[in-house]
Chain A
Amino acid sequence: MQALFWALVGMALVVIGLYALIVHRHLLRKVLALNIMSSGVFLVFIGLARRPAQDGAALAPDPVPQAMVLTGIVVAVAATGLALALIVRLRSESGRSTLDDPADD
Protein backbone atom coordinates (compact mmCIF):
# COMPACT_ATOMS: atom_id res chain seq x y z
CA MET A 1 0.00 0.00 0.00
CA GLN A 2 2.89 2.33 0.76
CA ALA A 3 4.14 1.92 -2.81
CA LEU A 4 0.78 3.10 -4.14
CA PHE A 5 0.91 6.11 -1.82
CA TRP A 6 4.16 7.31 -3.37
CA ALA A 7 2.80 6.71 -6.86
CA LEU A 8 -0.21 8.87 -6.01
CA VAL A 9 2.04 11.63 -4.62
CA GLY A 10 4.02 11.47 -7.86
CA MET A 11 0.87 11.90 -9.91
CA ALA A 12 -0.15 14.89 -7.80
CA LEU A 13 3.27 16.42 -8.58
CA VAL A 14 2.73 15.79 -12.30
CA VAL A 15 -0.65 17.54 -12.20
CA ILE A 16 0.71 20.49 -10.16
CA GLY A 17 3.57 20.86 -12.63
CA LEU A 18 1.16 20.71 -15.58
CA TYR A 19 -0.95 23.46 -14.02
CA ALA A 20 2.09 25.69 -13.55
CA LEU A 21 3.27 24.91 -17.08
CA ILE A 22 0.00 26.15 -18.55
CA VAL A 23 -0.58 29.13 -16.25
CA HIS A 24 2.84 30.79 -16.21
CA ARG A 25 4.20 32.76 -19.16
CA HIS A 26 7.78 33.22 -18.00
CA LEU A 27 9.91 30.53 -19.62
CA LEU A 28 12.02 29.93 -16.51
CA ARG A 29 8.85 29.09 -14.61
CA LYS A 30 7.81 26.76 -17.43
CA VAL A 31 11.16 24.95 -17.17
CA LEU A 32 10.73 24.65 -13.40
CA ALA A 33 7.21 23.29 -13.96
CA LEU A 34 8.55 20.70 -16.41
CA ASN A 35 11.13 19.65 -13.82
CA ILE A 36 8.43 19.19 -11.18
CA MET A 37 6.44 17.10 -13.67
CA SER A 38 9.42 14.89 -14.39
CA SER A 39 10.10 14.48 -10.66
CA GLY A 40 6.52 13.32 -10.33
CA VAL A 41 6.96 10.77 -13.10
CA PHE A 42 10.12 9.46 -11.42
CA LEU A 43 8.28 9.15 -8.12
CA VAL A 44 5.51 7.16 -9.84
CA PHE A 45 8.11 4.78 -11.28
CA ILE A 46 9.96 4.37 -7.98
CA GLY A 47 6.71 3.91 -6.09
CA LEU A 48 5.34 1.31 -8.48
CA ALA A 49 8.68 -0.53 -8.52
CA ARG A 50 8.14 -1.27 -4.83
CA ARG A 51 4.86 -3.09 -5.34
CA PRO A 52 5.20 -6.60 -3.97
CA ALA A 53 5.46 -9.18 -6.71
CA GLN A 54 3.64 -11.83 -4.70
CA ASP A 55 0.97 -11.20 -2.13
CA GLY A 56 2.49 -10.46 1.23
CA ALA A 57 6.01 -11.37 0.18
CA ALA A 58 8.36 -8.42 0.70
CA LEU A 59 10.68 -8.81 -2.26
CA ALA A 60 13.46 -6.56 -3.47
CA PRO A 61 12.15 -3.68 -5.60
CA ASP A 62 11.97 -4.17 -9.34
CA PRO A 63 15.31 -2.90 -10.73
CA VAL A 64 14.07 -2.13 -14.25
CA PRO A 65 11.93 0.94 -13.37
CA GLN A 66 14.74 2.17 -11.11
CA ALA A 67 17.22 1.97 -13.97
CA MET A 68 14.75 3.81 -16.21
CA VAL A 69 14.44 6.58 -13.62
CA LEU A 70 18.21 6.91 -13.52
CA THR A 71 18.17 7.29 -17.30
CA GLY A 72 15.28 9.72 -17.05
CA ILE A 73 17.05 11.94 -14.53
CA VAL A 74 20.00 12.37 -16.85
CA VAL A 75 17.76 13.14 -19.82
CA ALA A 76 15.80 15.66 -17.71
CA VAL A 77 19.03 17.39 -16.65
CA ALA A 78 20.23 17.55 -20.24
CA ALA A 79 16.91 18.94 -21.46
CA THR A 80 16.89 21.53 -18.66
CA GLY A 81 20.40 22.69 -19.53
CA LEU A 82 19.52 23.07 -23.20
CA ALA A 83 16.26 24.87 -22.36
CA LEU A 84 18.05 27.33 -20.08
CA ALA A 85 20.62 28.08 -22.78
CA LEU A 86 17.79 28.71 -25.26
CA ILE A 87 16.03 31.03 -22.78
CA VAL A 88 19.20 33.07 -22.22
CA ARG A 89 19.75 33.34 -25.96
CA LEU A 90 16.13 34.35 -26.56
CA ARG A 91 16.45 37.04 -23.94
CA SER A 92 19.68 38.43 -25.34
CA GLU A 93 18.21 38.46 -28.86
CA SER A 94 14.76 39.87 -28.17
CA GLY A 95 14.79 41.19 -24.60
CA ARG A 96 11.86 38.94 -23.72
CA SER A 97 11.62 35.94 -21.41
CA THR A 98 8.27 34.75 -22.71
CA LEU A 99 7.04 33.33 -25.98
CA ASP A 100 4.47 36.10 -26.53
CA ASP A 101 4.00 37.65 -29.91
CA PRO A 102 6.07 40.86 -29.92
CA ALA A 103 3.26 42.62 -31.81
CA ASP A 104 1.14 42.46 -28.65
CA ASP A 105 3.49 44.68 -26.67
Chain B
Amino acid sequence: MDGGKRTHAPHRREPTRAEAREELPSWGRTLLALALLGLLAGLAWAVLSLPRPAPGLADAVGARLAESGVSHPVTAVLLNFRGYDTLLELVVLLLALIGTWSVRRARRCAGNVPGPVLRQLPGLLAPLMVLIAGYLLWAGAHAPGGAFQAGSLLGGVGILLCLSGHSMPDWAQRWPLRLVALLGVAVFALSGVGVAALPSGGLLDWPPAAAKTLILGIELAAMLSIGVILAALFAGGRP
Protein backbone atom coordinates (compact mmCIF):
# COMPACT_ATOMS: atom_id res chain seq x y z
CA MET B 1 0.00 0.00 0.00
CA ASP B 2 2.11 2.82 -1.29
CA GLY B 3 -0.41 5.58 -0.94
CA GLY B 4 1.81 8.62 -0.42
CA LYS B 5 3.70 10.30 -3.19
CA ARG B 6 7.11 8.85 -3.85
CA THR B 7 10.14 11.04 -3.76
CA HIS B 8 12.03 10.74 -6.96
CA ALA B 9 15.66 10.10 -6.45
CA PRO B 10 17.94 12.78 -7.84
CA HIS B 11 20.08 10.21 -9.59
CA ARG B 12 19.51 6.49 -9.73
CA ARG B 13 22.73 4.87 -10.80
CA GLU B 14 23.33 1.18 -10.27
CA PRO B 15 26.82 0.61 -8.91
CA THR B 16 28.85 -1.76 -11.01
CA ARG B 17 29.32 -5.23 -9.65
CA ALA B 18 32.94 -4.72 -8.65
CA GLU B 19 32.03 -1.46 -6.92
CA ALA B 20 29.26 -3.05 -4.93
CA ARG B 21 31.46 -5.89 -3.78
CA GLU B 22 34.53 -4.34 -2.31
CA GLU B 23 36.15 -1.07 -1.48
CA LEU B 24 39.58 -2.19 -0.30
CA PRO B 25 42.49 -2.82 -2.67
CA SER B 26 43.77 -6.39 -2.76
CA TRP B 27 46.77 -5.71 -0.51
CA GLY B 28 44.43 -4.10 2.00
CA ARG B 29 42.20 -7.15 1.98
CA THR B 30 45.20 -9.44 2.49
CA LEU B 31 46.31 -7.33 5.43
CA LEU B 32 42.79 -7.36 6.84
CA ALA B 33 42.53 -11.14 6.45
CA LEU B 34 45.83 -11.57 8.31
CA ALA B 35 44.71 -9.27 11.12
CA LEU B 36 41.42 -11.16 11.43
CA LEU B 37 43.29 -14.49 11.51
CA GLY B 38 45.21 -13.05 14.45
CA LEU B 39 41.91 -12.13 16.07
CA LEU B 40 40.63 -15.66 15.50
CA ALA B 41 43.75 -17.09 17.12
CA GLY B 42 43.23 -14.83 20.11
CA LEU B 43 39.59 -15.83 20.44
CA ALA B 44 40.45 -19.50 20.13
CA TRP B 45 43.10 -19.13 22.82
CA ALA B 46 40.54 -17.43 25.06
CA VAL B 47 38.13 -20.36 24.69
CA LEU B 48 40.79 -23.02 25.11
CA SER B 49 42.02 -21.37 28.33
CA LEU B 50 38.56 -21.31 29.93
CA PRO B 51 38.51 -22.97 33.35
CA ARG B 52 37.59 -26.63 33.50
CA PRO B 53 35.28 -27.87 34.92
CA ALA B 54 32.94 -25.19 33.66
CA PRO B 55 31.52 -22.93 36.37
CA GLY B 56 28.08 -23.10 34.78
CA LEU B 57 24.73 -22.14 36.23
CA ALA B 58 23.10 -25.50 35.44
CA ASP B 59 23.26 -26.61 39.08
CA ALA B 60 21.85 -23.32 40.35
CA VAL B 61 18.96 -23.57 37.90
CA GLY B 62 18.33 -27.22 38.71
CA ALA B 63 18.22 -26.50 42.46
CA ARG B 64 15.36 -23.98 42.14
CA LEU B 65 13.56 -25.53 39.16
CA ALA B 66 10.73 -26.87 41.33
CA GLU B 67 9.74 -23.34 42.41
CA SER B 68 9.72 -21.92 38.88
CA GLY B 69 6.33 -23.27 37.82
CA VAL B 70 7.67 -25.10 34.75
CA SER B 71 9.83 -28.18 34.41
CA HIS B 72 11.93 -27.20 31.38
CA PRO B 73 15.06 -25.35 32.52
CA VAL B 74 15.32 -23.03 29.48
CA THR B 75 11.73 -21.85 29.88
CA ALA B 76 12.31 -21.42 33.61
CA VAL B 77 15.36 -19.23 32.93
CA LEU B 78 13.58 -17.21 30.23
CA LEU B 79 10.33 -16.50 32.02
CA ASN B 80 11.22 -16.73 35.67
CA PHE B 81 14.88 -16.55 36.71
CA ARG B 82 15.86 -13.99 34.08
CA GLY B 83 12.49 -12.44 33.35
CA TYR B 84 14.05 -9.01 32.82
CA ASP B 85 15.89 -10.24 29.71
CA THR B 86 12.72 -11.54 28.16
CA LEU B 87 10.68 -8.47 29.04
CA LEU B 88 13.28 -6.15 27.54
CA GLU B 89 13.58 -8.41 24.52
CA LEU B 90 9.89 -7.90 23.84
CA VAL B 91 10.52 -4.16 24.21
CA VAL B 92 13.32 -4.42 21.64
CA LEU B 93 10.94 -6.10 19.20
CA LEU B 94 8.39 -3.37 19.77
CA LEU B 95 11.04 -0.65 19.27
CA ALA B 96 12.16 -2.25 16.01
CA LEU B 97 8.56 -2.25 14.84
CA ILE B 98 8.09 1.41 15.81
CA GLY B 99 11.34 2.27 14.05
CA THR B 100 10.30 0.44 10.90
CA TRP B 101 6.88 2.06 10.95
CA SER B 102 8.36 5.51 11.29
CA VAL B 103 10.73 4.96 8.35
CA ARG B 104 8.35 3.85 5.62
CA ARG B 105 4.91 2.64 4.66
CA ALA B 106 4.25 -1.01 3.90
CA ARG B 107 3.84 -2.07 0.31
CA ARG B 108 1.65 -4.96 -0.65
CA CYS B 109 4.27 -7.64 0.11
CA ALA B 110 6.81 -6.01 -2.21
CA GLY B 111 4.44 -6.37 -5.15
CA ASN B 112 4.57 -10.15 -5.01
CA VAL B 113 2.14 -11.77 -7.47
CA PRO B 114 1.23 -15.23 -6.12
CA GLY B 115 0.99 -18.17 -8.47
CA PRO B 116 -1.82 -20.74 -8.27
CA VAL B 117 0.08 -23.01 -5.88
CA LEU B 118 0.91 -20.19 -3.48
CA ARG B 119 -2.70 -19.00 -3.50
CA GLN B 120 -3.90 -22.45 -2.36
CA LEU B 121 -1.11 -23.13 0.11
CA PRO B 122 -2.36 -21.10 3.11
CA GLY B 123 -5.65 -23.03 3.13
CA LEU B 124 -3.64 -26.18 3.83
CA LEU B 125 -0.76 -24.86 5.88
CA ALA B 126 -2.04 -21.94 7.95
CA PRO B 127 -4.44 -23.94 10.20
CA LEU B 128 -1.73 -26.54 10.76
CA MET B 129 0.83 -23.86 11.63
CA VAL B 130 -1.53 -22.22 14.12
CA LEU B 131 -2.19 -25.62 15.70
CA ILE B 132 1.52 -26.38 15.99
CA ALA B 133 2.13 -22.91 17.45
CA GLY B 134 -0.41 -23.67 20.16
CA TYR B 135 1.23 -27.02 20.83
CA LEU B 136 4.71 -25.47 21.03
CA LEU B 137 3.44 -22.90 23.50
CA TRP B 138 2.01 -25.61 25.75
CA ALA B 139 4.99 -27.94 25.34
CA GLY B 140 7.38 -25.16 26.39
CA ALA B 141 6.61 -25.88 30.04
CA HIS B 142 8.29 -29.29 29.95
CA ALA B 143 10.13 -29.65 26.62
CA PRO B 144 11.90 -27.44 24.05
CA GLY B 145 9.36 -24.89 22.87
CA GLY B 146 7.73 -21.79 24.23
CA ALA B 147 6.53 -18.33 23.27
CA PHE B 148 9.32 -17.48 20.87
CA GLN B 149 9.17 -20.64 18.80
CA ALA B 150 5.38 -20.45 18.70
CA GLY B 151 5.48 -16.73 17.92
CA SER B 152 7.82 -17.23 15.00
CA LEU B 153 5.44 -19.85 13.60
CA LEU B 154 2.59 -17.35 13.87
CA GLY B 155 4.80 -14.79 12.16
CA GLY B 156 5.32 -17.37 9.42
CA VAL B 157 1.55 -17.66 9.03
CA GLY B 158 1.39 -13.89 8.58
CA ILE B 159 4.16 -13.93 5.98
CA LEU B 160 2.51 -16.80 4.12
CA LEU B 161 -0.82 -14.98 4.03
CA CYS B 162 0.87 -11.78 2.89
CA LEU B 163 2.83 -13.52 0.11
CA SER B 164 -0.23 -15.38 -1.13
CA GLY B 165 -2.18 -12.16 -1.57
CA HIS B 166 -4.50 -12.32 1.46
CA SER B 167 -4.37 -8.82 2.87
CA MET B 168 -5.57 -7.86 6.31
CA PRO B 169 -8.96 -6.17 6.52
CA ASP B 170 -8.73 -2.43 7.04
CA TRP B 171 -10.27 -2.41 10.51
CA ALA B 172 -7.69 -4.92 11.74
CA GLN B 173 -4.84 -2.75 10.52
CA ARG B 174 -5.77 0.11 12.85
CA TRP B 175 -5.96 -0.31 16.60
CA PRO B 176 -6.31 -4.14 16.80
CA LEU B 177 -2.89 -4.57 15.17
CA ARG B 178 -1.27 -2.10 17.58
CA LEU B 179 -3.09 -3.62 20.55
CA VAL B 180 -1.85 -7.16 19.80
CA ALA B 181 1.69 -5.87 19.17
CA LEU B 182 1.65 -4.22 22.60
CA LEU B 183 -0.03 -7.13 24.39
CA GLY B 184 3.13 -9.09 25.25
CA VAL B 185 4.97 -6.18 26.86
CA ALA B 186 1.81 -4.98 28.60
CA VAL B 187 0.88 -8.34 30.15
CA PHE B 188 4.47 -9.09 31.14
CA ALA B 189 5.09 -5.67 32.70
CA LEU B 190 1.72 -5.53 34.48
CA SER B 191 2.17 -9.02 35.96
CA GLY B 192 5.71 -8.13 36.98
CA VAL B 193 4.58 -4.99 38.76
CA GLY B 194 1.48 -6.74 40.12
CA VAL B 195 3.46 -9.43 41.96
CA ALA B 196 5.68 -6.69 43.43
CA ALA B 197 2.59 -5.35 45.19
CA LEU B 198 2.04 -8.68 47.00
CA PRO B 199 3.40 -9.00 50.53
CA SER B 200 6.96 -10.38 50.37
CA GLY B 201 6.89 -10.01 46.60
CA GLY B 202 9.46 -8.42 44.31
CA LEU B 203 9.45 -7.09 40.80
CA LEU B 204 9.02 -10.02 38.33
CA ASP B 205 9.32 -12.42 41.28
CA TRP B 206 6.51 -14.91 40.64
CA PRO B 207 5.10 -16.62 43.76
CA PRO B 208 5.72 -20.38 43.23
CA ALA B 209 2.05 -21.29 43.65
CA ALA B 210 0.88 -18.99 40.85
CA ALA B 211 4.00 -19.23 38.68
CA LYS B 212 2.64 -21.70 36.15
CA THR B 213 -0.52 -19.69 35.47
CA LEU B 214 1.40 -16.43 35.22
CA ILE B 215 4.04 -17.88 32.92
CA LEU B 216 1.45 -19.45 30.65
CA GLY B 217 -0.54 -16.20 30.43
CA ILE B 218 2.56 -14.16 29.70
CA GLU B 219 3.71 -16.67 27.11
CA LEU B 220 0.33 -16.58 25.39
CA ALA B 221 0.40 -12.79 25.16
CA ALA B 222 4.07 -12.81 24.11
CA MET B 223 3.39 -15.40 21.39
CA LEU B 224 0.65 -13.26 19.85
CA SER B 225 2.81 -10.12 20.03
CA ILE B 226 5.88 -11.81 18.59
CA GLY B 227 3.89 -13.31 15.71
CA VAL B 228 2.25 -10.00 14.82
CA ILE B 229 5.48 -8.02 15.16
CA LEU B 230 7.49 -10.44 13.01
CA ALA B 231 4.85 -10.42 10.28
CA ALA B 232 4.64 -6.61 10.46
CA LEU B 233 8.44 -6.35 10.21
CA PHE B 234 8.25 -8.51 7.09
CA ALA B 235 5.61 -6.22 5.60
CA GLY B 236 8.27 -3.57 6.15
CA GLY B 237 6.36 -0.47 7.20
CA ARG B 238 3.36 1.29 8.60
CA PRO B 239 0.12 -0.23 7.27
Contact = CB atoms under 8 A, between A and B. Distances in A.
Interface of A: 4, 7-8, 11-12, 14-15, 18-19, 22-26, 29, 44, 48-49, 51-55, 59-64, 66-68, 70-71, 73-75, 77-79, 81-82, 84-86, 88-89, 91-98, 105
B103 A85 contact: yes
B75 to A, nearest CB: 8
A53 B58 contact: yes
Contacts of B40: 11-12, 15
A74 B146 CA distance: 13
A68 B40 CA distance: 23
B96 interface: yes
B199 to A, nearest CB: 29
Contact of A105 (B13, B44, B56): B13
B11 A95 contact: yes
Contacts of B62: 60
5 contacts: A8-B47, A62-B58, A77-B230, A86-B103, A94-B10
Given A4-B47, A74-B93, A78-B97, 20 more contacts: A14-B43, A18-B36, A19-B36, A26-B15, A26-B21, A62-B56, A63-B73, A67-B74, A67-B82, A71-B78, A71-B86, A73-B148, A77-B230, A85-B100, A91-B9, A92-B104, A93-B7, A95-B9, A96-B15, A97-B15
A78 B103 contact: no
Smallest CB-CB A-B distances: 5 pairs: A95-B9, A81-B233, A78-B96, A63-B73, A62-B56
Contacts of B43: 11, 14-15
A91 to B, nearest CB: 8
Given A24-B22, A92-B9, A71 B85 contact: yes
A86 B22 CA distance: 21
Contacts of B74: 63, 66-67, 70
B53 A23 contact: no
Contacts of A54: 53
Interface of A (DSSP majority class) = helix
B9 A51 contact: no
B228 interface: no
B106 to A, nearest CB: 10
B32 A22 contact: yes
A67 B36 contact: no
Contact of A23 (B32, B78, B89): B32
Interface string B143-172: 000101000000000000000000000000
A82 B12 CA distance: 23
Given A63-B74, A71-B85, A92-B7, A81 B100 contact: yes
Contact of A78 (B11, B47, B58, B93): B93
Contact of A67 (B11, B85, B229): B85
B197 interface: no
B58 A85 contact: no
A11 B45 CA distance: 11
A6 to B, nearest CB: 10
B44 to A, nearest CB: 6
Contacts of A59: 58
B76 interface: yes
